[in-house]
Structure 1
Amino acid sequence: MEITARLTANAEVKTLKDERQVVNFNVAINDSYKPKGSSEVTKLVTYVQCAYWVNSNIAQYLTKGTLVELQGRIGVNAYNNMQGEAKAALTFHVNNIKLHGKPKYESNNTETAAPVATEAGAEQTDDLPF
């Protein structure tokens, strides 16, 4: 499955008891449609919790407002809350991350190109002439 969305907050790296690290973040998917028989456009926002296990170094690039393209699979966690009611939460288990730009509100500053981990520990450097 593939989704393109913006991060709603900076990513967080969690270390588990067995020393594995996971990058947790949330994204918002913006959509719009025009209901049949209406001239007004309805906007819809869907929030998705994400988990990335491949390389925790990517967390520094996953900042609020960044546009990302994610590939992975959906997982479900079913549980009973304190009142005994059945609840469930969906998590998007990300296998591949492509960064598509900085947050809209970030100023244009000139920094040196840094390597960006995009999949399974691979690193790429942005040394394009433009």
Structure 2
Amino acid sequence: MALPNLHGVARLTADPELKFAASGTAVCTLTLAFNSRRQNRQTGEWEDAGVHFQRAKAFGQVAENIAESLTKGTEVAVSGRLETEQWTNEQGEKRSAAVLLLDSIGPELRRATARVHKVERSTAGQSGDSWGSTPTNSTDEPPF
């Protein structure tokens, strides 16, 4: 069975936290606040209709890009899969919590602007990369 998907617009409640696993993989954790607003029919004023706080995680280059690009209060568009994390606390009690494994995240551009900088990736040591490596045929033609 597939994990449930979540797509929406949220706000970061704090600056993203970037750590590195023992393997060297970057792990970024953040908390998102999803809220609803509705217009009061009698007064015409907008009011908050509820909020849902959700922990989220990203790994690898995405984690590093999040930590470099986003800060507390940033409104973001997110897409990811909900998963239940389980652990045992220091008192030996089993705990669990839902976490959103981020597939994509970016600034919401309705009320903000952003400047995109493409991350350069090294192709050294990678095999099978026809676009980033030097062609091996004698005519220097594309590999297709």
User: How far off is 1:73 after superposition?
Assistant: 0.4
Are residues 66 and 102 of structure 1, via their aligned partners in 2, closer, same or farther at CA, if it must alter by over 3 Å? farther
User: How far off is 1:96 after superposition?
Assistant: 0.9
Give the aligned CA root-mean-square deviation in angstroms.
3.1
Q: Does residue 45 of structure 1 match 2:45?
A: no
CA distance in 2 between partners of 1:72 and 1:93 (Å): 5
Q: Which amino acid aligns with 1:45?
A: V
Helix, strand or coil for the counterpart of 1:17? coil
Q: Deviation per CA, 1:6-35: give whole Å up to 9, x if none.
A: 00011111101000001111110112579x
Where structure 1 has 5 or more consecutive residues not aligned to the other structure, the ranges are 35-40, 105-111, 118-130
Are residues 47 and 103 of structure 1, via their aligned partners in 2, closer, same or farther at CA, if it must alter by over 3 Å? farther
CA distance in 2 between partners of 1:13 and 1:86 (Å): 25
Helix, strand or coil for the counterpart of 1:18? coil
User: How far off is 1:3 after superposition?
Assistant: 2.2
CA distance in 2 between partners of 1:72 and 1:95 (Å): 5
Give the TM-score taking structure 2 as reference length.
Answer: 0.59
User: How far off is 1:84 after superposition?
Assistant: 5.2
Are residues 33 and 86 of structure 1, via their aligned partners in 2, closer, same or farther at CA, if it must alter by over 3 Å? farther
Give the TM-score taking structure 1 as reference length.
Answer: 0.65
Q: Deviation per CA, 1:15-73: give whole Å up to 9, x if none.
A: 01000001111110112579xxxxxx772111101111142123122101111111110
Q: Deviation per CA, 1:104-125: give whole Å up to 9, x if none.
A: 9xxxxxxx945167xxxxxxxx
1:65–1:102 contact (8 Å) kept in structure 2: no
Q: 2:107 aligns with which of 99, 114, 125?
A: 99
1:1-130 alignment runs, 5 A limit: 1=5, 2-32=7-37, 43-55=49-61, 56-82=64-90, 85-101=93-109, 113-115=115-117
CA distance in 1 between partners of 2:91 and 2:37 (Å): 36
Paired residues in the alignment total 105
CA distance in 1 between partners of 2:38 and 2:115 (Å): 38
